[in-house]
Amino acid sequence: MAKDQKKQPRPRAETPKGFRDYFGADVTERKAMLDRIAEIYHRHGFDPLETSAVETVEALGKFLPDVDRPNAGVFAWQEEAVPGGGSGDWLALRYDLTAPLARVAAQFRNDLPTPYRRYAMGPVWRNEKPGPGRFRQFYQCDADTVGSASVAADAEICAMLADALEAVGIARGDYVVRINSRKVLSGVLDAAAIRPDQADEVLRQIDKFDKVGREGVLALLTTGRKDDSGAVIEGVGLTGAQAAPVLAFLTSKGADNTATLDNLRGAVGGSAIGAEGVDELAQIAAMLSAMGVAEDRAVIDPSVVRGLGYYTGPVFEAELTFEILDEKGRRRQFGSVAGGGRYDGLVERFTGQKVPATGVSIGVDRLLAALRSRGLAGTEAQGPVVVTVMDRDRMADYQAMAADLRAAGIRAEVYLGNPKNFGNQLKYADRRGAPVAVIQGADEAARGVVQVKDLVLGARIAAEASHEEWKAQPAQTEVPRADLVAEVRRILG
Amino acid sequence: MAKDQKKQPRPRAETPKGFRDYFGADVTERKAMLDRIAEIYHRHGFDPLETSAVETVEALGKFLPDVDRPNAGVFAWQEEAVPGGGSGDWLALRYDLTAPLARVAAQFRNDLPTPYRRYAMGPVWRNEKPGPGRFRQFYQCDADTVGSASVAADAEICAMLADALEAVGIARGDYVVRINSRKVLSGVLDAAAIRPDQADEVLRQIDKFDKVGREGVLALLTTGRKDDSGAVIEGVGLTGAQAAPVLAFLTSKGADNTATLDNLRGAVGGSAIGAEGVDELAQIAAMLSAMGVAEDRAVIDPSVVRGLGYYTGPVFEAELTFEILDEKGRRRQFGSVAGGGRYDGLVERFTGQKVPATGVSIGVDRLLAALRSRGLAGTEAQGPVVVTVMDRDRMADYQAMAADLRAAGIRAEVYLGNPKNFGNQLKYADRRGAPVAVIQGADEAARGVVQVKDLVLGARIAAEASHEEWKAQPAQTEVPRADLVAEVRRILG
């Protein structure tokens, strides 16, 4: 047996490529952020939904354009077909939280309230090539209203998003929720007499507005342009007269919502769908105002183009407006942390019935990164008080000390490694981020006292103090055992 | 196109067999319970760890005895081997939280503190035949200390478990943590001169002690017995003299820990490993006492046999001692909600080094069921105040009302369905569990008032009141719009 075991190579202790583990503060900081968001969603009447991580490939849908490999992009496997057991179905890990919502909305349509407001927070999986900062399992945080065609649902989501950002600590003025409308764009395309077969191409070029700006999009919509490398990119072939209303739409943001809406009314001309879109944006603006959400928090802004092709009505995006330094040390706006909009056909695949829905997804990792960059995610020093072990026969005494501290609500632990080398115990306390170490040798035990060492102050003294000050060791005090909790409390402040 | 779509059958809106979704209170009640447990673990110096859901099959290990199908029991799939992309590795969903801990402890052994205390809460997946109440995705909640050979670590886990049970609401007296020792059993087997090749069989029979009792195990260890169906079960073939110390061990629980430990000292005779085991239990008993954990909360109890074969030192189990009615209406003890113990070889597979570890796993679903059976899991009425819509042109007014309520910390939402049929709005409020409905028609708006309907009181009146009382409708009051928040607050109490 032993020989056989020797021959087997040891397994590699590694996460699969593209996967990662979260330790300590990684977990608690994200959890604190999501808890605050959940509290806001709850207060708005949204209920939590936690679907299974595994769905049938059939229910998820063939969501990727690659028809030859319908399951590319998901982690999928086939169940064994055994009587009474596996079904032979193809199963897969969910790739987002919207596809499972669609399945739930169809499966439980007779049991769920209509409209159904739900939020969901959890991991999703993508079978994609991993890269720096790109993982194959990551968190999403969604809120959607299913079954309401009213733009009141959209307005509510925008207001809720603004509240959620403030709840996690983003200051008013450091974010803005921008709102646009697919219908207005459709109206503009109508007004510009753009042929239906050109519409998709126009949408694709508009999507580059953020990157190439007004002149760039104008060129792309008409005769084409050269990119930075000198390569020629063909244009859509619109006339300048056709491109003009599209550009007017993209740049129609005025000094306030009223001005923007006036500009949009001009841009859509006589288009009915366009007028409907502008009217919806006007309603949203009025409702946000009624909810006390001023334009510095959520504003009509037709330059928001991401997702315009995907959504069917209002589209929204939350941006953080403060600057950070990018990896090259350049100042740039933090940018988008959430996006969403109105979409149709969520449940239609399953039931044949159109069910209107609108929702938003917060980029959990990006928002957490933003909080960290602003010093807003750090929970206070979370290291435990470490009770050191001078005499291994008196573990019960040390555990009693830790228990006393815990009973007072103080995080505390006894050192459980080999106690022989006391230096290792202090190194351990350091690695644990311990604010305080408690020490009691035989001598102290006999006298009924403990040494309480302020490790934070100790580290500062070690870094700054003179030899004399160092020797004075003000960071360590001796107190009666009965005063242990009080002394630790004093140090922790 | 439309024709083609018609031909495709609609996908089934179903979770895969054996999977389920969690709605509303399912999510929040479990979360509240786990949050309280996490708070206790945190206070004991345990750090959270969230590993990836996906592991390599290699790292998980071939954990099931079925050598022909090494991956049976897990959901596994092979990565495509493509340059720069998939590795060709077999990947699988984790089947518990211990195997990933082993991988993490090996992978990050130079970065983690030693000992490493961690807790983990999250779903695990089992590719097993689903059955009633048996799902293929379920939650686990584990706490382990890796890298400490000291039984102080075991004592700490037992104390922490007791604290955790109380933190979620189980009253003192309604639970007990029972502690046994594999080493003591080994000592008993030594003392009884049981051959090494018989030991596994003896362990298997001991495992039936809960079910068949003292006489049953005696028969199983010696000459065999007939089960209820009359089938003969062969015995291990021990003599009565050999079986006696094993049974003495199983039934050695005395009036208190001191008496139990005395009994155990007798049972292990001159066995060195047995004496070591008894000594460890004595240390644990002393440490629990020092930590203020009395014997009504955690007690040495050699009748705890589950897992004795798997663990290598102390073994513990938390039982809820109150009675519930089972599905047949019989009274029975609720039973086990957590178990654990000390185990070796956690990291050895990866590094060749033995790393001692001890830990506990709480059965999340069972504990939540216990809380529900005691009325301890229900969060208060969580339905939102529903602001109804009498006039769809005044959505902004209704949203302002909901916003005012939320600003006062009250959960509130505007009805977003089709407002034409007012009865449907009240049905919706009922389905949402709404405590209050707010109503404002054109007439009320003109007079600057709102109707506030106490739905809880209304339901009671509808059930109990006479027609006259019903007509008086005290459950609905009219207040000035400015007093809306105060009136809702009054009703909510």
Tens digit of each residue's pLDDT (9 = 90 or more) over B318-332: 999 999 887 788 888
Q: Is residue A358 helix, strand or coil? A: strand
Q: Inform me whether the pLDDT recorded for B85 exceeds 70.
A: no
Quote the minimal CA–CA distance from A11 to chain B in Å: 6
Closest residue to B87, CB basis, from A17, A77, A349: A17
Residue B402 lies in a domain: yes
A:298-317 residues touching chain B, CB 8 A cutoff: none
Closest residue to B10, CB basis, from A104, A125, A349: A349
Taking the Cβ of residue A427 and every Cβ of chain B, the question of whether any pair is shorter than 8 Å is answered with no
A:78-97 residues touching chain B, CB 8 A cutoff: 79, 84-87, 89, 91, 93
Instruction: Locate A7 and state its tokens.
Output: 């021959």
Quote the minimal CA–CA distance from B364 to chain A in Å: 16
By residue count, chain A amounts to 493
Q: Compute the CA torsion angle A237, A240, A245, A251 (nearest 10 deg).
A: 100
Answer yes or no: do A60 and A104 share one domain.
no
Closest residue to B349, CB basis, from A10, A125, A412: A10
A:216-275 residues touching chain B, CB 8 A cutoff: none
Quote the minimal CA–CA distance from B269 to chain A in Å: 25
Answer yes or no: do A109 and A129 share one domain.
yes
Residue A349 lies in a domain: yes
Quote the minimal CA–CA distance from A318 to chain B in Å: 20
Domain boundary residue among A93, A108, A124? A93
pLDDT at B64: 43
Answer yes or no: do A259 and A343 share one domain.
yes
Taking the Cβ of residue A117 and every Cβ of chain B, the question of whether any pair is shorter than 8 Å is answered with yes
Confidence of residue A313 (pLDDT cuts 50, 70, 90): very high
Q: Inform me whether the pLDDT recorded for A248 exceeds 60.
A: yes
Residue B16 lies in a domain: no
Average pLDDT over residues B244-270: 94
Q: Inform me whether the pLDDT recorded for A71 exceeds 80.
A: no
More confident residue, A202 or B344: A202
Q: Inform me whether the pLDDT recorded for A79 exceeds 80.
A: yes
Residue B129 lies in a domain: yes
Domain boundary residue among B373, B402, B421? B373
Closest residue to A54, CB basis, from B137, B395, B399: B137
Taking the Cβ of residue B283 and every Cβ of chain A, the question of whether any pair is shorter than 8 Å is answered with yes
Average pLDDT over residues A348-376: 92
Q: What is the pLDDT of residues B132-155, one digit of tens each?
A: 878 999 999 999 999 999 999 999
User: What angle in degrees, to the nearest 10, is found between the helix axes of B196-206 and B182-191?
Assistant: 130
Which residues in chain B are closer than 8 Å to A95, comparing Cβ atoms?
A: none
Give the count of domains, chain B.
2
Q: Inform me whether the pLDDT recorded for B68 exceeds 50.
A: no
Quote the minimal CA–CA distance from A324 to chain B in Å: 29
> Beta-carbon neighbour count of residue B94 at 10 Å?
24
Q: Inform me whether the pLDDT recorded for A402 exceeds 60.
A: yes
Answer yes or no: do B350 and B429 share one domain.
no
Confidence of residue B230 (pLDDT cuts 50, 70, 90): confident
Q: Inform me whether the pLDDT recorded for B415 exceeds 50.
A: yes
- Best mutation target among B22, B29, B47, B116 (most A Cβ atoms within 10 Å) is B47
Which residues in chain A are closer than 8 Å to B86, comparing Cβ atoms?
A: 127
Residue B364 lies in a domain: yes
Average pLDDT over residues B399-412: 96
CATH number assigned to the domain comprising residue B415: 3.40.50.800
Answer yes or no: do B287 and B346 share one domain.
yes
CATH number assigned to the domain comprising residue B112: 3.30.930.10
A:366-405 residues touching chain B, CB 8 A cutoff: 382, 384, 386, 392, 395-397, 399-400, 402-403
pLDDT at B44: 96
Closest residue to A413, CB basis, from B55, B117, B129: B117
Taking the Cβ of residue B139 and every Cβ of chain A, the question of whether any pair is shorter than 8 Å is answered with no
Closest residue to B399, CB basis, from A15, A21, A291: A291
Q: Inform me whether the pLDDT recorded for B471 exceeds 70.
A: no
Q: Inform me whether the pLDDT recorded for B316 exceeds 90.
A: yes
Which residues in chain B are closer than 8 Å to A106, comparing Cβ atoms?
A: 13
Confidence of residue B310 (pLDDT cuts 50, 70, 90): confident
- Best mutation target among B43, B144, B392 (most A Cβ atoms within 10 Å) is B43
Q: Residue B393: which domain range?
A: 385-492
Domain boundary residue among B320, B339, B373? B373
Q: What is the pLDDT of residues A461-476, one digit of tens each?
A: 777 766 666 566 668 8
Closest residue to A43, CB basis, from B56, B406, B428: B406
A413 with B45: Cβ contact below 8 A: yes
For residues A218 and A72, give the distance between their C-alpha atoms in angstroms, rounded to a whole number: 36
Q: Inform me whether the pLDDT recorded for A70 exceeds 50.
A: no
The residue with tokens 């109490």 is: B493
Minimal Cα distance from B128: which residue of A? Answer: A85
Which residues in chain B are closer than 8 Å to A257, comparing Cβ atoms?
A: none
Taking the Cβ of residue B71 and every Cβ of chain A, the question of whether any pair is shorter than 8 Å is answered with no
Closest residue to A28, CB basis, from B48, B349, B411: B48
Confidence of residue B358 (pLDDT cuts 50, 70, 90): very high
Taking the Cβ of residue B412 and every Cβ of chain A, the question of whether any pair is shorter than 8 Å is answered with yes
For residues B410 and B133, give the distance between their C-alpha atoms in angstroms, rounded to a whole number: 36
Answer yes or no: do B230 and B357 share one domain.
yes
Quote the minimal CA–CA distance from B163 to chain A in Å: 10
Residue A3 lies in a domain: no
Taking the Cβ of residue B409 and every Cβ of chain A, the question of whether any pair is shorter than 8 Å is answered with yes
Answer yes or no: do A268 and A177 share one domain.
yes
Q: Inform me whether the pLDDT recorded for B80 exceeds 80.
A: no
Instruction: Locate A241 and state its tokens.
Output: 């007269």
| Angle (nearest 5°) at CA B442 between B441 and B446 | 120
Q: Inform me whether the pLDDT recorded for B6 exceeds 70.
A: no
Q: Inform me whether the pLDDT recorded for B311 exceeds 60.
A: yes
DSSP state, residue A378: P
In angstroms, what CA-CA distances link A7 with A3, A4, A10?
7, 5, 9
User: Long-range contacts made by residues A77-86, C-beta under 8 angstroms, separation at least 24?
Assistant: A77/B75, A77/B76, A77/B77, A79/B16, A84/B129, A85/B129, A86/B127
Q: Inform me whether the pLDDT recorded for B3 exceeds 50.
A: no
Best CA proximity match to B385, nearest among A161, A292, A43, A293: A43
Average pLDDT over residues A413-418: 94
Answer yes or no: do B232 and B339 share one domain.
yes
The residue with tokens 């602003």 is: A374
Q: How far is CA A359 from the centre of its chain?
A: 15
Which residues in chain B are closer than 8 Å to A16, comparing Cβ atoms?
A: 52, 54-56, 79, 87, 89, 91
A137 with B409: Cβ contact below 8 A: no
Answer yes or no: do A416 and A472 share one domain.
yes
Quote the minimal CA–CA distance from A109 to chain B in Å: 10
Minimal Cα distance from B87: which residue of A? Answer: A17
pLDDT at A65: 40
Answer yes or no: do B364 and B391 share one domain.
no
Closest residue to B150, CB basis, from A59, A163, A416: A416
Which residues in chain B are closer than 8 Å to A115, comparing Cβ atoms?
A: 416-417
pLDDT at B469: 64
Answer yes or no: do B40 and B117 share one domain.
yes
Closest residue to A52, CB basis, from B21, B350, B432: B21
Which of the residue ranges A323-327, B92-96, B285-289 would you say has the lowest mean pLDDT?
A: A323-327
Which residues in chain B are closer than 8 Å to A103, comparing Cβ atoms?
A: 13-15
Answer yes or no: do B221 and B299 share one domain.
yes
Which residues in chain A are closer than 8 Å to B52, comparing Cβ atoms?
A: 15-16, 19-21, 137
| Angle (nearest 5°) at CA A406 between A394 and A168 | 145
Quote the minimal CA–CA distance from A209 to chain B in Å: 32
Quote the minimal CA–CA distance from B214 to chain A in Å: 35
Q: What is the pLDDT of residues A104-113, one digit of tens each?
A: 999 999 999 9
Q: Compute the CA torsion angle A6, A9, A14, A15 (nearest 10 deg).
A: -110
Taking the Cβ of residue B55 and every Cβ of chain A, the question of whether any pair is shorter than 8 Å is answered with yes
Minimal Cα distance from B79: which residue of A? Answer: A75
Confidence of residue B2 (pLDDT cuts 50, 70, 90): very low
Size of interface A-B (CB pairs under 8 A): 300
Average pLDDT over residues A264-272: 94
Q: What is the pLDDT of residues A384-399, one digit of tens each?
A: 999 999 998 999 999 9
Burial of B222 (0-12, 13-18, 19+ CB in 10 A): middle
B52 with A400: Cβ contact below 8 A: no
Average pLDDT over residues A407-436: 93
Q: Inform me whether the pLDDT recorded for A288 exceeds 70.
A: yes
- Best mutation target among B5, B6, B14 (most A Cβ atoms within 10 Å) is B14
Burial of B233 (0-12, 13-18, 19+ CB in 10 A): middle
Q: Inform me whether the pLDDT recorded for A376 exceeds 90.
A: no
Q: Inform me whether the pLDDT recorded for A379 exceeds 70.
A: no
pLDDT at A86: 62
Do B465 and B452 meet the contact criterion of CB atoms below 8 Å apart?
no
Phi-psi region of B301 (alpha: psi -120 to 50; beta: other; left: phi over 0): beta
Residue B315 lies in a domain: yes
pLDDT at B62: 61
